[in-house]
């Protein structure tokens, strides 16, 4: 986590941030570039802009991999560029963005992080305006970039990017996480394993997760197996009337996130 760019494929760079261990990807073509996610505040978005300008002077478009604040609250800094996202990503930010911003800022204040809370409160809710339902293909300075919605998982609006001319690199957002357990606050646990099957089917080389180190298909498959175990245990526990907290204790892989995962699975099973 060095807040510096690493070239992970031909003219494709990843900046892994100390803050939240978040990855932002930058795809550079002839005379244009594409920024994947914009960080958690407008201040962090401005820092990202300055970092991008150390790599390329080209105008940009943006993709939001999903609606969560750490991937979208820097959006306004990148206007008037087009911002691509799943249709429900935009809907979530329009319908719930103001409440979400206040709740997140409140959590930071509870932990004594007043400066970050103020930065979040000062960041505009700026949803994507170029909407994807299932599949869209962008051309970034002559380079094809495919945006795919493969199913519900981390949210109901996750987008996965594939880059055919960059060794089929996959950028998966928070459908895949390395270095920390997957987060379930907006998740659909019963769907997540099948969605990861679809992700794994696209991976022939490297995959950029939403957080953490770049991984491969073997890592995706292993994480898929852990999600499948959560589904199996939650399904059995729900059928037997067991408390979610008891089931969560049987899922050490997910750590403190296990209870959220089981509770979200129970909601789906209801």
**pLDDT tens by residue, 7-16:** 999 999 999 9
Alpha carbon distances (Å) from 155 to 11, 185, 201:
29, 9, 20
Note whether residue 18 is domain-resident.
yes
Task: Answer yes or no: are the C-beta atoms of 66 and 157 closer than 8 Å.
Answer: yes
Whether omega before 80 lies within 30 degrees of 0, making that bond cis, reads yes
Q: Decide if 83 contacts 126 (C-beta within 8 A).
A: yes
Mean pLDDT in residue range 98-113 = 97
CATH of residue 98's domain is 3.60.15.10
User: What is the CA 181 to chain-centroid distance, rounded?
Assistant: 13
C-alpha 181/C-alpha 95 separation (Å) is: 28
Give the whole-angstrom CA distance, residue 188 versus residue 125: 24
CB atoms within 10 A of CB 224: 19
* Alpha helices (runs of H) in 67-163, residue ranges in sequence order: 69-72, 87-110, 114-121
For residue 235, being part of any structural domain is answered with: no
Task: Name the domain count of the chain.
Answer: 1
Q: How far apart are CA 80 and CA 60, in angstroms?
A: 10
* Percent of the residues in the chain that have a pLDDT greater than 90, as a whole number: 99
Look at the alpha carbons of 118, 119, 122, 123 in this order and tell me if their dihedral is positive or negative.
negative
- pLDDT at 1 > cutoff 60: no
Name the residue range of residue 113's domain: 5-216
Q: What pLDDT is stored for residue 2 in this prediction?
A: 65
- 181 within domain boundaries: yes
The model's pTM: 0.96
137 is a domain residue: yes
Does residue 125 belong to any structural domain of this protein?
A: yes
């Amino acid at each position: 986590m060095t807040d510096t760019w690493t070239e992970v494929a031909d003219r494709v760079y990843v900046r892994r941030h100390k803050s939240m261990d978040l990855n932002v990807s930058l795809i550079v073509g002839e005379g244009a570039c594409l920024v994947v996610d914009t960080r958690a505040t407008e201040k962090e978005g401005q820092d990202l802009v300055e970092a991008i300008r150390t790599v390329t002077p080209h105008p940009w478009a943006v993709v939001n991999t999903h609606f969560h604040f750490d991937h979208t609250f820097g959006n306004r800094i990148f206007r008037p560029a087009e911002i691509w996202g799943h249709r429900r990503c935009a809907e979530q930010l329009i319908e719930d963005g103001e409440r979400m911003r206040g709740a997140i800022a409140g959590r930071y204040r509870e932990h004594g992080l007043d400066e970050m809370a103020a930065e979040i409160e000062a960041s505009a809710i700026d949803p994507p305006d170029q909407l994807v339902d299932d599949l869209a293909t962008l051309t970034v300075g002559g380079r094809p970039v495919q945006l795919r919605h493969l199913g519900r998982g981390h949210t109901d609006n996750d987008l996965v990017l594939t880059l055919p001319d960059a060794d089929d690199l996959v950028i998966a957002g928070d459908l895949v996480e390395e270095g920390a357990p997957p987060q379930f606050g907006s998740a659909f646990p019963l769907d997540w394993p099948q969605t990861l099957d679809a992700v794994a089917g696209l991976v022939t080389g490297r995959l950029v997760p939403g957080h953490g180190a770049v991984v491969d298909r073997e890592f995706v498959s292993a994480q898929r197996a852990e999600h499948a175990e959560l589904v199996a245990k939650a399904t059995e526990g729900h059928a037997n009337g067991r408390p979610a907290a008891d089931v969560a204790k049987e899922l050490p892989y997910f750590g403190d996130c296990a209870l959220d995962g089981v509770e979200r699975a129970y909601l789906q099973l209801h």
